[in-house]
Amino acid sequence: MAVHHPIFARLYPAMSAAMERGGMAERRRALLAGLTGAAVEVGAGDGLNFRHYPPAVTEVLAVEPEPHLRRLARAAASRAPVPVEVVDGLAERLPADDRSVDAVVVSLVLCSVGEQGAALREIHRVLRPGGQLRFLEHVRADTPGMARVQRVLDATIWPRLAGGCHTGRDTAAVIERSGFRIDRLDRFRFPDARTPSSWHILGTAVRIDAN
Ligand SMILES: C[S@@+](CC[C@H](N)C(=O)[O-])C[C@H]1O[C@@H](n2cnc3c(N)ncnc32)[C@H](O)[C@@H]1O
């Protein structure tokens, strides 16, 4: 499975830079605050998270399947405060050993993967027991009217216009069904206006193992 969204990849840097200025940079800082050890970042895009990794993070393996965004991410990695290696790869097949990392980071990615359960199984596999999944994702609206709009958009034009993105996924529920315990969950709208992609979650989930 290849991820090839050349038009979206060329528009995303300007869109995401505007979001940064509108307050997303602070959310990214909160996403990564307090992390330590070795991390995998899935679907790193153009690398906007890199500058926010705290110094206690020893290495980041950043996986990005889209060629144009991967090139931009490599440039961002060269300016990052911690060592970041950017590689080709997919959420569904992460290039890391079982139980090998302390943290996995996803931001605005679980809306775009083909099947969330498959990506989360992979994330669970590479995390050490007790390791953290840090997530910042836009999700299903909490009003029935907007949730209906999201369903229609997701079944029609949105994924085609926005690089495979879906607006109405219940991502926190899927995380909890995939071998994680959510320890922290903030819900907020960004932007505050009610657009189909305004509803966000930011939090920490911990890998749990069945006995
Ligand atoms: C909206 S962008 C978000 C980029 C970045 N994480 C950020 O926070 O700005 C979605 C990203 O997910 C990546 N992506 C899409 N499908 C993927 C998959 N199956 N595995 C890994 N990354 C994927 C895209 O290439 C793109 O970089």
Distance CA 143, CA 157 (A): 21
Query: Cβ(45) to ligand 1 under 6 A?
Result: yes
pLDDT at position 211 is 63
Q: 133 - beta bridge partners?
A: 104, 205
Q: Scan for tokens 């879906």, then name that residue.
A: 166
Residue nearest to atom 4 of ligand 1 (CA): 45
pLDDT of residue 5: 87
Ligand 1 pocket test, pick from 10, 40, 112 with the greatest ligand atom count within 8 Å of Cβ, gives 112
**109 Cβ below 6 A of ligand 1:** yes
What is the spatial distance between Cα 69 and Cα 99, in angstroms, rounded to a whole number?
A: 28
The pTM assigned to this predicted structure is: 0.97
Q: Output the tens digit of pLDDT for each of the chain's 211 residues.
A: 677 788 989 999 999 999 999 999 999 999 999 999 999 999 999 999 999 999 999 999 999 999 999 999 999 999 999 999 999 999 999 999 999 999 999 999 999 999 999 999 999 999 999 999 999 999 999 999 999 999 999 999 999 999 999 999 999 999 999 999 999 999 999 999 999 999 999 999 999 997 6
Place of tokens 């949105």: 158
Residue 210: what pLDDT? 75
CA-closest candidate to residue 167, choices 187, 195, 205: 195
Q: What is the pLDDT of residue 3?
A: 78
Index of the ligand 1 atom closest to the CA of residue 28: 8
CB 168 within 8 A of CB 147: yes
Residue with CA closest to ligand 1 atom 8 = 107
Q: Evaluate: CB of 112 within 6 angstroms of ligand 1.
A: yes
* Interval between CA 182 and ligand 1 midpoint (Å): 22
- Whole-angstrom distance, CA of residue 99 vs CA of residue 90: 18
For residue 4, the model assigns a pLDDT of 76
Residue 42's pLDDT is 98
Residue 164 CB less than 6 A away from ligand 1: yes
- Find out whether the beta carbon of 16 lies less than 6 Å from any atom of ligand 1: yes
Ligand 1 lined by 107 (C-beta under 6 Å): yes
